[in-house]
Amino acid sequence: MSYPEPRYLGEHGEASGVVKLAGQAPDLIIGGEGGTKVHYLATGGSTNGAYGLYRWEMSGKPSGPDPHFHRTMTESFYVLSGTIKLYNGDRWVDGKPGDFLFVPEGGIHAFRNESGEPASMLILFTPGAPREGYFEELAEIAASGRQLTPEEWTDVYLRHDQYMV
């Protein structure tokens, strides 16, 4: 393992860091008032495709995707607060603050908040795929109350590298 090729070739560095303060409003709410608050900490677009990092704040109502995998990216989960069920493709565990799950490309995984209490985590995608488009589409579907057919869900998933199992 070695360092990758340089991506910055300047001589003196530059002031280009971005600060996201904890108290800022979420970028997206999935499921309306009392739903999941999503903070776009770093998108694939803002990291030049290196990674995407999101803070996921779930309310106490049950939420989370069914088991699935991705072909183009890894996904990692780091529990910040509460209890979040994490699925590694083999078994479900109750993730507590400080627990971590890494899933390589093709790895079956899922997460759920079934605790009845708020919970939060960081979700990291590498490389930085445009996941915010997927999250925003889910939010729009939830907000509209629209019921998708299985074929329409398949289309949504295929456009966003989401393969349900």
**Ordered DSSP codes for 69-104:** E-SS-EEEEEEEES-EEEE-SS-EEEE-TT-EEEE-
What is the domain count for the chain? 1
* 145 part of a folded domain: yes
10 has pLDDT over 90: yes
* CATH label of the domain that carries residue 38: 2.60.120.10
Average pLDDT, integer, range 95-113: 98
* 150 part of a folded domain: yes
pLDDT at 33: 85
- Mean pLDDT (the chain, rounded): 96
pLDDT at 101: 98
* 9 part of a folded domain: no
pLDDT at 32: 87
pLDDT at 161: 98
* 13 part of a folded domain: no
Average pLDDT, integer, range 3-9: 94
Structural contact between residues 131 and 54, judged by C-beta atoms closer than 8 angstroms: yes
* 93 part of a folded domain: yes
Question: What are the pLDDT digits (tens) for 73-88?
Answer: 999 999 999 999 999 9
* 4 part of a folded domain: no
What's the rounded Cα separation, in Å, for the pair 85 and 117?
12
Q: Is the dihedral of CA 84, 24, 139, 60 positive or negative?
A: positive
Percent pLDDT > 70 in the chain is 100
Question: What are the pLDDT digits (tens) for 23-54?
Answer: 999 999 999 888 999 999 999 999 999 999 99
What's the rounded Cα separation, in Å, for the pair 56 and 63?
11
* 113 part of a folded domain: yes
* 148 part of a folded domain: yes
Structural domain harbouring 152: 28-164
